[in-house]
Structure 1
Amino acid sequence: MSKVFVLGATGQLGASVVEGLLEKNVSVTAYARDASKAEKMFAQSSNLNVVQGGYDDLDVFKAAVAGHERLFLMVQSFGNMRGIKYAFAKIAYEAGVKQIVDISCTQEMAPAWRSNPVCEEHRSCEEAVINIPNRGKFVALRPAFFFSNHFMGDIHSIRNADVIMGCNPPDEKKMWISPTDISALAVNALTEPIEHHNDCAYEMTSEALSGNERAQILSKVLGKDIKYVERSAAEEYKANRSVGMPHDTAYAFVEYFPQGQGHITRGLPILLGRDPESLEAWLEKNKQAFLQ
């Protein structure tokens, strides 16, 4: 089976992808800024090789990626994401990589061109890689909001006040997906025949849920009454900025509005080989974190 190079191996998705590949007995190279952290995260395996390097260590990456047929491309660096992804993808293709699986962003979050800077950056990344001459295949996964985003602001307001907050009206829906499903689809794409996925771009939305609906699910799972509280756009923006978001990202999340109130990806069971994970199921696995 093809050797797979995983960029961002110690992040939430990268780590799950590494574990999923190792479970399938795939030879994996994990690329991480902290090699000791990566070695501690994963069980000892003859199929695992850890390479220490960052986004600026292109020579290290170039030497390490040789001999791999596939690359998982996960970059968390808004503002310079396009340059980083292009550089790594170009080096990888020139080294003989035949397939790149990229984590992008759902295009339904940007109903008009350049209306959402987060989506625009991901779009420009896809465009840059697609236009690399003589490239291999390029598969883009486009997830909606991660269920794990609840670990950002919501977890604190739940612990302290039994509420979740947002600037969206209580019945306005947002699009969601489990990180479990994102990593599972990445593993499938990286292990199934390259020609099967070709140059596909996969939108990934499993549920469209309003604030009130999420509060109801949280109440059921956590066993206490959780309410959704609508706050002003200015309050939402301030909260986003307080956790380190730059202006453009914080503003983009305030202005987020899905086309058609959220389109569910009907084909997810085909891609995953099972039904996608629900928010309720994900919360059941993680509920202790919200109850501390």
Structure 2
Amino acid sequence: MLCICSFLLTDISDCAVAILSESIEKHDRNIYEMGADNLSNEQRAALFSKVLGRPITYEQKSMEDFYKTCIGFGMSHSLAFNFVSYQMTEKCMSTILQIALLINRPLRTVEDWIKENASAFQ
């Protein structure tokens, strides 16, 4: 099973660079929320299909199977339980467009990330 978190690390790191390289006064005591593309699992599969040029389908695993998979990868019970709980409730943060102001560029999308990493899925 492939689980893609839409939280794109480049946006996060660019935001940190902007904050740490600008004056303390500009960002003093500010709190910046971060989010990402709000896509369903089926929409993510469709993006992979589009970018990779081959059919990719989403298949829902049972909570028990997903937990066993996480444990099989060496996760502790606590981490696996919380990860599975989060995934199964389909919590998804919405895109926080204000971050684009901090990083001085448009936010990246899941499609951008898939295109940049397409060779890893061939």
- TM-score category, normalised to shorter length: 0.7 to 0.9
Query: Do residues 228 (structure 1) and 71 (structure 2) align?
Result: no
SS at match of 1:227: coil
Counterpart Cα distance in 1 of 2:30 and 2:74: 33
Counterpart Cα distance in 1 of 2:17 and 2:36: 18
Counterpart Cα distance in 1 of 2:94 and 2:112: 20
Match of 1:252 among 77, 82, 98: 82
Counterpart Cα distance in 1 of 2:94 and 2:109: 15
Counterpart Cα distance in 2 of 1:231 and 1:189: 40
Q: Using the TM superposition, give the Cα deviation of residue 190 of structure 1 relative to its aligned residue in structure 2, in angstroms.
A: 1.0
Which is richer in strand? Answer: 1
Identify the structure with bigger relative contact order (alpha carbons < 8 Å, sequence gap 6+): 2
Paired letter, 1:243 = F
1:275 corresponds in structure 2 to 106
Q: Which runs of 4+ in 1 moved over 4 A?
A: none
Pairing 1:194-233 to 2, within 5 Å after superposition: 194-233=24-63
1:193 corresponds in structure 2 to 23
Counterpart Cα distance in 1 of 2:67 and 2:38: 22
Q: Give the structure-1-normalised TM-score.
A: 0.39
Counterpart Cα distance in 1 of 2:5 and 2:116: 20
Equivalent pairs: percent with the same residue?
35
Gapped runs of 5+ residues in structure 1? 1-152, 155-163, 165-173
Which is richer in helix? Answer: 2
RMSD (Å) for aligned C-alpha atoms: 1.9
8 Å Cα contact 1:175-1:207 kept in structure 2 = no
Paired letter, 2:97 = R
Pairing 1:114-263 to 2, within 5 Å after superposition: 153-154=1-2, 176-256=6-86, 257=89, 261-263=92-94
Q: Give the structure-2-normalised TM-score.
A: 0.88
8 Å Cα contact 1:207-1:278 kept in structure 2 = yes
Q: Using the TM superposition, give the Cα deviation of residue 258 of structure 1 relative to its aligned residue in structure 2, in angstroms.
A: 5.9
SS at match of 2:39: strand
**Structure with larger Rg:** 1
**Aligned residues, how many?**
120
1:264 corresponds in structure 2 to 95
